[in-house]
Amino acid sequence: MNKTELVAAIAEKSELSKKDSEKALKAFIDTVTDELKKGEKIQLVGFGTFEVQIAASNAPKFKAGKALKDAVNE
């Protein structure tokens, strides 16, 4: 799935327009990026955690939460 397909899927599930869905996705990505730049961790219970893995290299890392892992394995 690419970004265009993701925006379309978000629009369908949320009943938002594709334009509004793209804005929401961009806001999400920008917010996660900004927080990671500050060295913060973003924890979405049931989905996963975004954090900088190695501070010296600023390598971002995503760790899936239990609910997401369970949903994928259903």
pLDDT digits (tens, 9 = 90+) for 27-65: 999 999 999 889 899 999 999 999 987 766 778 888 898
Specify whether 11 is located in the same domain as 33.
yes
Specify whether 33 is located in the same domain as 53.
no
Q: Are 63 and 48 in contact (CB under 8 A)?
A: yes
Specify whether 1 is located in the same domain as 28.
yes
Specify whether 46 is located in the same domain as 59.
yes
Count of structural domains, the chain: 2
Specify whether 45 is located in the same domain as 15.
no
Specify whether 9 is located in the same domain as 34.
yes
Q: How far apart are CA 38 and CA 50, in angstroms?
A: 12
pTM, two decimals, is: 0.79
**pLDDT single digits (tens) 6-31:** 999 999 999 999 999 999 999 999 99
Specify whether 34 is located in the same domain as 4.
yes
- Tell me which residue range forms the domain holding 65: 40-74
CA 55 to chain centre: 20
